[in-house]
């Protein structure tokens, strides 16, 4: 079983690591600009948060597609696997079209909520106006990636992620250092890389799964019962994701409301959280694929074993990352920026970085298991409780006396409570799927 977990987890970890590495490279590129580096860090942070809201809102396509596909794979239903992909891709491109048509109202709302200084907001708007055109490719890749994972194939998502993010880094370096662009160059590099990625994804699907096209049927794709189930599960995942978006957006918005330095500090420190989260998501994706497969096969023994082993791996990596952050945290900060004011202020908050791995790993793993089991209602409920009863009360109770420390405490308790609540709900939510 460990081999199966690692066969799925390792490629996903490799591919996921490229995402925060890209973010760190972007921060480093603009963080070492000779002029206005702090403003460009803030601009990328605000612009990225708007796209996190947009794209995380569509991440249900990756998660829902993965769970449904894994269960169809476990049952040996090739036709249903093909229809799941076609439904997901249709929703992806339809949603992307809506985003492009409504790009200006979305921008106005986003910058009204995430209010920064006038200089930062002007640069962030330039970033937004360019990056919005990547929407069809980005959301389409969500559907393709989730489908490949559900089909127990982690290598193609790994290849796609590596190619997209390496191209993104390459484009950003060229645009910033050779064309004199700044945060707008980061946005354009992302657009170019995402379209290369979706084209490669289509090519790889045709290369390895072209035979499945014989199962495609428009009438079967829009079958009412299947669509109701698809959208019911994805509705719960969407609500869950909106809560996560709210917390992350609120964190960034409150950082920006304090001052540009706090926004830059929190943006840099969040890179440690994002890096660890993408590593844990590699195991979560393995949990999605294997949980869905064993539920499809109705194998309770294998299901229990995979959950136990996932948590053993998760705890091991949490301890490893805690040690690494304790030993190398300050050196990593200096790689992200050489702005002395940001570095000095970060020292007041860096101990929150040390707590990230052990407080958050359970939530990431349970997310993958719940997605594979399509236990969407319980996953949604855990997120809503953590948001409304933990994050918001703690923040408003402590922001006055504690300031930015209170913001970090609320954020970390939110992450920890997700893992605790899902652990308590798992017997009912996950294992009831097995007869």
Rounded to an integer, the average pLDDT of 38-60 is 74
How much of the chain, in percent, has pLDDT values that exceed 90? 30
**CB within 8 A of 168, min separation 6: which ones?**
22, 189, 190, 192, 193
Write out the two tokens for 180. Answer: 């004199």
- pLDDT of res. 396: 94
- pLDDT of res. 218: 75
Residue 121 reports pLDDT greater than 90: no
- Enclosing domain of residue 429: 2-433
Q: Per mean pLDDT, which range of 44-48, 147-151, 276-280, 295-299 is the poorest?
A: 44-48
Q: Tens digits of per-residue pLDDT, 307-342?
A: 999 999 999 999 999 999 999 878 888 777 777 888
- pLDDT of res. 317: 95
Give pairs for 54-59: CB < 8 Å, separation 24+: 54/99, 54/106, 54/135, 55/138, 55/139, 55/142, 56/241, 56/244, 56/245, 56/248, 57/238, 57/241, 57/242, 57/245, 58/92, 58/95, 58/139, 58/142, 59/142, 59/237, 59/241
- pLDDT of res. 17: 66
In DSSP notation, 180-222 reads ---HHHHHHHHHHHHHHHHHHHHHHHHHHHGGGGGG--HHHHT
Q: Tens digits of per-residue pLDDT, 336-380?
A: 777 788 888 888 888 899 999 999 999 999 999 998 888 888 999
Residue 422 reports pLDDT greater than 90: yes
Neighbour count for residue 98 (Cβ, 10 Å)? 11
Q: What's CA 198's distance to the chain center, in Å?
A: 18
Number of domains, the chain: 1
Write out the two tokens for 84. Answer: 């799941």
Counted residue by residue, the chain has a size of 435
Write out the two tokens for 181. Answer: 């662009």
- Residue 11 and residue 285 in contact, taking contact as beta carbons nearer than 8 Å: no
Given the structure tokens 């596909």, which residue do they identify?
A: 69
Write out the two tokens for 108. Answer: 């106005």
Residue 211 reports pLDDT greater than 60: yes
Model confidence, pTM: 0.75
Q: Which of 201-205, 221-225, 302-306 has the highest mean pLDDT?
A: 201-205
């Amino acid at each position: 079983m460990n081999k199966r977990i690692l066969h799925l987890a390792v490629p996903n970890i490799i591919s996921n690591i490229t995402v925060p590495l890209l973010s760190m490279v972007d921060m480093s590129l603009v963080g070492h600009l000779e002029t206005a580096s702090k403003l460009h860090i803030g601009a990328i942070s605000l612009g990225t948060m708007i796209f996190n809201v947009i794209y995380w809102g569509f991440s249900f396509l990756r998660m829902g597609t993965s769970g449904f596909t894994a269960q169809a794979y476990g049952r040996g239903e090739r036709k249903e696997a093909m229809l799941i992909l076609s439904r997901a891709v249709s929703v992806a491109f339809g949603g992307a079209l809506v985003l492009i048509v409504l790009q200006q109202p979305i921008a106005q709302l986003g910058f009204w909520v995430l209010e920064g200084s006038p200089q930062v907001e002007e640069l962030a708007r330039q970033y937004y106006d360019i990056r919005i055109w990547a929407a069809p490719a980005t959301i389409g890749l969500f559907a393709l990636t989730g489908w490949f994972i559900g089909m127990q194939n982690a290598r193609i998502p790994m290849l796609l992620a590596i190619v997209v993010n390496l191209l993104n880094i390459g484009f950003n370096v060229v645009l910033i250092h050779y064309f004199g662009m700044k945060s707008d160059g980061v946005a354009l590099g992302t657009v170019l890389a995402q379209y290369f990625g979706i084209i490669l994804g289509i090519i790889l699907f045709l290369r390895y799964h072209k035979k499945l096209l014989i199962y495609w049927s428009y009438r079967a794709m829009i079958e009412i019962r299947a669509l109701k189930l698809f959208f019911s599960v994805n509705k719960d995942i969407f609500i869950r994701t909106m809560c996560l978006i709210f917390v992350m957006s609120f964190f960034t918005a409150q950082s920006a409301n304090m001052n540009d330095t706090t926004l830059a500090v929190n943006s840099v420190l969040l890179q440690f959280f994002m890096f660890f989260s993408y590593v844990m998501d590699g195991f979560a994706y393995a949990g999605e694929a294997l949980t869905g497969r064993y539920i499809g096969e109705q194998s309770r023994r294998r299901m229990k074993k995979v959950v136990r082993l996932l948590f053993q791996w998760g705890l091991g990596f949490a301890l490893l990352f805690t040690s690494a952050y304790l030993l190398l945290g300050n050196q990593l900060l200096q790689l992200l920026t050489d702005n002395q004011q940001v570095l000095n202020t970060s020292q007041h908050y860096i101990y929150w970085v040390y707590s990230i791995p052990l407080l958050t790993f359970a939530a990431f793993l349970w997310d993958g298991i719940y997605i594979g089991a399509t236990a969407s209602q319980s996953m949604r409920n855990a997120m809503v409780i953590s948001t409304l009863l933990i994050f918001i009360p703690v923040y408003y109770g402590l922001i006055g006396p504690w300031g930015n420390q209170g913001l970090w405490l609320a954020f970390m308790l939110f992450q920890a409570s997700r893992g605790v609540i899902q652990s308590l709900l798992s017997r009912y939510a996950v294992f009831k799927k097995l007869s």
